Structure 1
Amino acid sequence: MTVKIFVLTCLLLLAGCTAQNKADTKASKLKTNENLKTKKLNANKKRSKKETASKWIHYKKKCRIPILMYHSISAGNALRVPPKQFAEEMAYLKANHYYTLTTAEAIKAFETNSLPRQKVVWITLDDAYKDNYTAAFPILKKYHLHATINYITSFNQKPNHLTLNEAKIMQHSGLVDFQSHTVQHLDLNELSTDVQMQELANSKKWLDNTFRQKTQMICYPAGRYNQTTIKLANHLGYKIGLTTNEGLACLDQGWYSLSRVRIAPGISLQTFNQLLKNGY
């Protein structure tokens, strides 16, 4: 009888251990799966953000940067680049290992005369058209490229322009930053000092508050500005100003008079490559 009890006890203990081992194994598998899911989510999140550069290259000569100038990503006139062309150009930048700058990185590049990569480009889109969200944004996400949208702050409820919600979605992706294109998109060189001040100051204040940032760049509407504009921009805390003058940007032009590379509809990739290298 005692022997039977002893045998039964051992069997029960073995069964318990086996069950515990199975439970431990299951728990371990669940934990491993959770860890893999977490790592995958983190990896996807990192991939959705802009690629960052760890080491900057310093140069003796002043840096010359192609600042690409786009407007609407659609078709119809000389300021509209069709989505297919935009996609081909973004694919070209990716395939040829171009690093796409943020506004802050572009300012750092000029301040320090250094670049995060040997080949860089700053993509800008003026006026904040709705197709920047519907057409350009999916392409930027596909190739993990960064762009700067120059926002007309009074147009956020205007048809065919970005809504505030769309703009915030783009900003939160890490692939788009927003800078000033004034309040009403008026020719600044034709305005009084007081009105220029309102256009520059109110735009900056709105962008700072809306996107919780320190807006650093002013892009002049239609490229129109004068010396008063430059003085006011500097006084208000803008660090950099973009024109519609054509060519590669260099500090020889002045902090508030930087040139850009106009991208016209219908150009070939060969021409696009030439524009990236020479600005014309």
Structure 2
Amino acid sequence: MTSSKGSTKNNETKTRESLKSKKLSINKNKVKPHKAKKWVHYKQKCRIPILMYHSISSGNALRVPPKQFEEEMAYLKANHYYTLSTDEAIRAFATNSLPQRKVVWITLDDAYKDNYTAAFPILMKYHLHATINYITGFDQKPNHLTLDDAKVMRHSGLVDFQSHTVQHLDLNELSTNVQMQELANSKKWLDTNLRQNTQMICYPAGRYNQTTIRLANHLGYKVGLTTNEGLASVDQGWYSLSRVRVAPGISQQTFATLLENGY
């Protein structure tokens, strides 16, 4: 008879082997991200739904179960939404143009491990792009994405990574010097390890102040995301963009309404 301890160890080994196999498969078969052929300029300011997710699991108000996440991604695909990358979202706001009328920017805060094990396969299945806001000081923390995980996801062409600071502290309660460290060091870590120019800062818990905005601009961030609810527009300010919170248990009709109205 196999002991429960031995059974648990075997299951953990199988899980690691499964993830390893999945990682190798993704590396060999890089998914080509969808590219819009022609952007259309609009007279009115673009208003874009920026979906806000966190953990793709269950347990509290910030966790959306995988089944619901897949149903929502399937809805986006079936209704022909174009999923923006960070660079494309910045272009949309800067030029007041869109690759097509129906667009959405999917964001996941905190970079939980289930973003890789649960959300990523769904994004791959429906060929949708998402942005993960990474807490760089948590890369070795249990239940969070490692740098290797991030590299695999980024290599797919369907995920980009942006800053969620180093330690996920309330920025509005920090001194100017500590805010600078949180913003600068997280950007440097992402720029160096992912060989990119990190363009966006997502404020932990949506907390920020005018010093945060000034420092973000000084460091080269182009946009800042809040937890203020609603569709995003540059009328709100480049560093004060609203998002659409996706709660667990909502209906598909509610999800459709959120995409249209932001609330």
Q: Structure 2-normalised TM-score? A: 0.89
1:229 corresponds to which of 198, 212, 223: 212
Instruction: Indicate whether 1:78 and 2:61 are aligned.
Output: yes
Distance 1:234 1:165 in 2: 29
Residue 164 of structure 2 corresponds to which residue in structure 1? 181
Residue 69 of structure 1 corresponds to which residue in structure 2? 52
Letter in 2 for 1:270: Q
SS of the equivalent of 1:179 reads: strand
Instruction: Indicate whether 1:152 and 2:131 are aligned.
Output: no
Distance 1:222 1:267 in 2: 22
Q: Higher helix share goes to which structure?
A: 1
Instruction: Indicate whether 1:57 and 2:70 are aligned.
Output: no
Instruction: Indicate whether 1:162 and 2:145 are aligned.
Output: yes
**Residues 224-250 of structure 1 deviation map (CA, whole Å, 9 limit, x = unaligned):** 000000000000000000000000000
1:104 corresponds to which of 77, 80, 87: 87
2:252 corresponds to which of 245, 265, 269: 269
Q: Is the 8 A contact 1:66 1:249 kept in 2?
A: yes
Q: Is the 8 A contact 1:49 1:144 kept in 2?
A: no
Residue 239 of structure 1 corresponds to which residue in structure 2? 222
Residue 6 of structure 2 corresponds to which residue in structure 1? none
Distance 1:90 1:192 in 2: 40
**Residues 105-133 of structure 1 deviation map (CA, whole Å, 9 limit, x = unaligned):** 00000000000111000000000000000
Considering only aligned residues, what root-mean-square deviation do their CA atoms show, in Å? 1.0
Deviation at 1:45, TM superposition (A): 5.3
Distance 1:124 1:50 in 2: 17
Deviation at 1:169, TM superposition (A): 0.3
Distance 2:92 2:145 in 1: 29
Letter in 1 for 2:111: A
Q: Is the 8 A contact 1:128 1:152 kept in 2?
A: yes
Residue 119 of structure 1 corresponds to which residue in structure 2? 102
Residue 279 of structure 1 corresponds to which residue in structure 2? 262
Deviation at 1:49, TM superposition (A): 2.1
Distance 1:179 1:112 in 2: 21
Distance 1:141 1:53 in 2: 18
Alignment coverage as a number of residue pairs = 236
Distance 1:51 1:167 in 2: 20
Deviation at 1:210, TM superposition (A): 0.5
**Residues 134-177 of structure 1 deviation map (CA, whole Å, 9 limit, x = unaligned):** 00000000000000000000000000000111111000000000
SS of the equivalent of 1:242 reads: strand
SS of the equivalent of 1:142 reads: helix
Distance 1:243 1:261 in 2: 10
Residue 36 of structure 1 corresponds to which residue in structure 2? none
SS of the equivalent of 1:135 reads: helix
Distance 1:227 1:66 in 2: 24
Distance 1:208 1:247 in 2: 30
SS of the equivalent of 2:133 reads: strand
SS of the equivalent of 2:227 reads: strand
Instruction: Indicate whether 1:204 and 2:196 are aligned.
Output: no
Distance 1:162 1:45 in 2: 21
Residue 19 of structure 2 corresponds to which residue in structure 1? none
Please, which runs of 5 or more residues in structure 2 have no aligned partner? 1-27
Distance 1:163 1:134 in 2: 12
**Residues 71-95 of structure 1 deviation map (CA, whole Å, 9 limit, x = unaligned):** 0000000000000000000000000
Q: Is the 8 A contact 1:69 1:261 kept in 2?
A: yes
Q: Is the 8 A contact 1:239 1:255 kept in 2?
A: yes
